[in-house]
Amino acid sequence: METIDPLPQLKDIFDKLRQGAYITHEQGTLHAALAEHYEDYKLYFEPLGLNLVRHPRDFFYFHTEAAEGTPPAASLAPIAVFCFILIEAAANEGRPVEEYLLTERFTLAGLPHLKSDRYKAHMRAVEVDDENGLRKLLKSMATKGWAEYNNDDTFRFLRPFHRLFDKCQEISLAAEQESREVLPGLEPKIDPEMN
């Protein structure tokens, strides 16, 4: 009878992924094991109802429709608002948004979120009122694997942030499309006989 070699680092990989975390290059050996044996891990997890995904940007995560322990949408609202503000500020400065967000190292003090009344109002709407609130939010993003946060209040986004960035772009494009569809219906109709 042939014995099957166990998948390398299975327990560590499972423990990390089931918590909703991502496995990226930063996790070294875990990432290497998944990259080398992706199909085997995917097949192993399927009977458990877990869908292992390899993102095109080369990180791994479980995708489930309603995963246990998944944060409710309301807890993601502050992160979404934070991201939209950062995207808008970068675009307003004429920066190439994706490259800027995904290659830059940011400082908490340099963020635009608390520098204009408009941005402050958006952040207050999701209960982030000051630098401590921003710091807590960034640490939350680091816990989710979207950012790397340092004690000197600097941070950078990690590869999994692409999922959130892509979703923000998708929402933005949908809103833009919707406004184009609504606006033609709002245009006043000109009666040729009135001229």
- 44-74 per-position pLDDT tens digit: 999 988 999 999 888 999 986 644 444 444 5
Q: How far is CA 126 from the centre of its chain?
A: 17
Instruction: Write down the pLDDT at residue 114.
Output: 93
Instruction: Write down the pLDDT at residue 5.
Output: 58
Query: For the chain, which domains are there?
Result: 10-63 (1.10.10.2250), 73-179 (1.10.10)
Distances in Å between the Cα of 127 and the Cα atoms of 13, 77, 91, 150, 163 are 34, 10, 25, 23, 24
- 3-state class (DSSP) for residue 107: strand
Instruction: Write down the pLDDT at residue 173.
Output: 75
DSSP states of 44-86 as a string? HHGGGT-EEEE-TTS-EEEE-TT-TTPPPHHHHHHHHHHHHHH
Cα–Cα dist 111/71, whole Å: 25
Residues of the chain with pLDDT under 50: 1-3, 66-73, 186-195
Distances in Å between the Cα of 154 and the Cα atoms of 17, 37, 105, 128, 175 are 26, 35, 7, 18, 32
Cα–Cα dist 46/14, whole Å: 13
Instruction: Write down the pLDDT at residue 187.
Output: 47
Contact between 147 and 158 (Cβ < 8 Å): yes
Distances in Å between the Cα of 9 and the Cα atoms of 6, 75, 131, 163 are 9, 31, 39, 25
Backbone angles phi, psi at 116, to 5 degrees: -130, 150
Cα–Cα dist 41/77, whole Å: 32
Instruction: Write down the pLDDT at residue 191.
Output: 43
Instruction: Write down the pLDDT at residue 145.
Output: 81
Q: Is the pTM above the cut of 0.75?
A: no
